[in-house]
Amino acid sequence: MKAQVLLPKVFDFPFTYNIDLENKIGHLVEVPFGKKKEIGVIWKNNYAEPKNIKIKNIGKVTEYAIDKKLIDFIEWFSQYNMVPIGLVLKMVIGGTDKFIKANDNIIEIKKTKKKEFKLNQEQLAGLKFLDKTNDKFEVSVLEGTTGSGKTLVYFERLKSIIKNNNQALVLLPEIFLTNDFKSRFENFFGFEPAIWHSKISPKQKRLIWKGIISNRIKILVGARSALLLPFKNLGIIIVDEEHDTSYKQDEGVVYNARDMAIARASFEKIPIHLVSSIPSIETYNNIRKKKYRHFKIKKRFNDFPLPETKIVNLNVNKIKNKYIAKDTIELVKNYLDKNEQVLFFVNRRGFAPYLICKKCGNKLVCSNCSLYLTFHKIKNKAVCHHCSQEKKIEIKCRSEDNCQFIMYGPGVEKIYDEVKELFPNKKVSIFSSDYLKKKEKIKNLFDEIKQNKIDILIGTQMISKGFNFPNLNCIVVIDADFSGRGYDLRTTEKNIQLYHQLSGRAGRFSSESLIIYQTLIPQDNTLNELIKNKSDKLLADELLLREKNKLPPFIRLISIIISSKERSSSLQGAREIKSKLKTIKDIEVLGPVDSPLLKIKKNFRSRLLIRFNNRFFMQKKISKVLNGLKISPKIKLMVDVDPINFA
pLDDT at 512: 86
Same-domain check for residues 147 and 295: yes
Taking residue 554's Cβ as centre, other Cβ atoms within 10 Å add up to 14
Taking residue 80's Cβ as centre, other Cβ atoms within 10 Å add up to 17
Which CATH number does the domain housing residue 569 bear? Answer: 3.30.70.600
In a domain, 111, yes or no: no
Domain that holds residue 83: 2-98
Taking residue 51's Cβ as centre, other Cβ atoms within 10 Å add up to 5
Same-domain check for residues 237 and 267: yes
Q: What are phi and psi of 418, to 5 degrees?
A: -70, -40
Q: Report the half-sphere exposure of 119 (CA within 13 A, side-chain side).
A: 19
Domain boundary among the residues 497, 518, 544 is at: 544
Residue pair 140/295 in contact by the 8 Å Cβ criterion: yes
- Between CA 23 and CA 19 the distance in angstroms is 7
- Between CA 16 and CA 25 the distance in angstroms is 13
- Between CA 489 and CA 280 the distance in angstroms is 13
Instruction: For residue 238, give the nearest of 246, 248, 249, 226 by alpha carbon.
Output: 226
Residue pair 582/611 in contact by the 8 Å Cβ criterion: no
In a domain, 77, yes or no: yes
Q: How do 234-240 and 167-171 pair as beta strands?
A: parallel
* DSSP conformational letter for 147: T
Instruction: Look at the chain and report how many structural domains it folds into.
Output: 4
In a domain, 163, yes or no: yes
Residue pair 574/608 in contact by the 8 Å Cβ criterion: yes
Which CATH number does the domain housing residue 165 bear? Answer: 3.40.50.300
Q: Which helix (H) or strand (E) holds 31?
A: strand 27-33
Domain boundary among the residues 544, 571, 594 is at: 544
Same-domain check for residues 526 and 578: no
Taking residue 583's Cβ as centre, other Cβ atoms within 10 Å add up to 9
* DSSP conformational letter for 402: B
pLDDT at 141: 98
What is the separation of C-alpha 287 from the centre of its chain, rounded to a whole number of angstroms? 22
**Direct distance between the N- and C-terminal alpha carbons of the chain, in angstroms, rounded to an integer:** 51
Instruction: For residue 56, give the nearest of 11, 15, 6, 27 by alpha carbon.
Output: 15
pLDDT at 466: 65
Same-domain check for residues 273 and 217: yes
Burial status of residue 647 (CB atoms within 10 A of its CB: 0-12, 13-18, 19 or more): middle
**pTM as predicted:** 0.92
Q: What are phi and psi of 343, to 5 degrees?
A: -115, 130
Same-domain check for residues 168 and 259: yes
pLDDT at 410: 86
Q: What are phi and psi of 61, to 5 degrees?
A: -100, 125
In a domain, 202, yes or no: yes
- Between CA 438 and CA 432 the distance in angstroms is 12
Taking residue 419's Cβ as centre, other Cβ atoms within 10 Å add up to 24
- Between CA 387 and CA 384 the distance in angstroms is 6
* Residues 173, 175, 177: CA angle, nearest 5 degrees: 75
Residue pair 465/173 in contact by the 8 Å Cβ criterion: yes
Residue pair 482/274 in contact by the 8 Å Cβ criterion: no
Q: Which helix (H) or strand (E) holds 29?
A: strand 27-33
Instruction: For residue 67, give the nearest of 269, 231, 270 by alpha carbon.
Output: 231
Same-domain check for residues 425 and 342: yes
- Between CA 107 and CA 105 the distance in angstroms is 6
Same-domain check for residues 567 and 493: no
What sign does the CA torsion over 553, 558, 564, 567 have? negative
Length of the chain: 647
Instruction: For residue 180, give the nearest of 386, 465, 481, 601 by alpha carbon.
Output: 465
CA distances from 166 to 102, 214, 223, 331, 492 (A): 27, 12, 20, 51, 39
In a domain, 423, yes or no: yes
pLDDT at 271: 97
Residue pair 612/556 in contact by the 8 Å Cβ criterion: yes
- Between CA 59 and CA 20 the distance in angstroms is 10
Domain boundary among the residues 300, 331, 361 is at: 300
Which CATH number does the domain housing residue 11 bear? Answer: 3.40.1440.60
- Contacts with 96 (C-beta within 8 Å, 6 or more apart), sequence order: 8, 28, 39, 64, 209
DSSP state letters, 442-495: HHHHHHHHHTT--SEEEE-GGGGSS---TTEEEEEES-------SS-TTHHHHH
CA distances from 344 to 172, 239, 433 (A): 25, 29, 16
Same-domain check for residues 270 and 190: yes
281-288 and 535-548 are packed helices; what angle lies between their axes, rounded to 10 degrees? 90
Same-domain check for residues 226 and 255: yes
pLDDT at 483: 64
Same-domain check for residues 573 and 451: no
Q: Where are the alpha helices (DSSP H) in 41-135?
A: 68-81, 85-93, 96-101, 121-131
Same-domain check for residues 245 and 312: no
In a domain, 378, yes or no: no
In a domain, 106, yes or no: no
In a domain, 376, yes or no: no
Q: What are phi and psi of 270, to 5 degrees?
A: -130, 160
Same-domain check for residues 529 and 591: no
Q: What is the mean pLDDT of each run of 10 residues along the chain (647 residues)?
A: 91 89 86 91 81 84 93 97 96 79 74 90 95 89 90 94 94 80 90 89 89 93 95 96 93 95 98 96 96 93 82 83 91 94 90 87 88 88 89 83 86 92 94 72 79 90 76 91 67 85 77 89 85 85 92 95 93 94 95 91 94 92 92 90 87
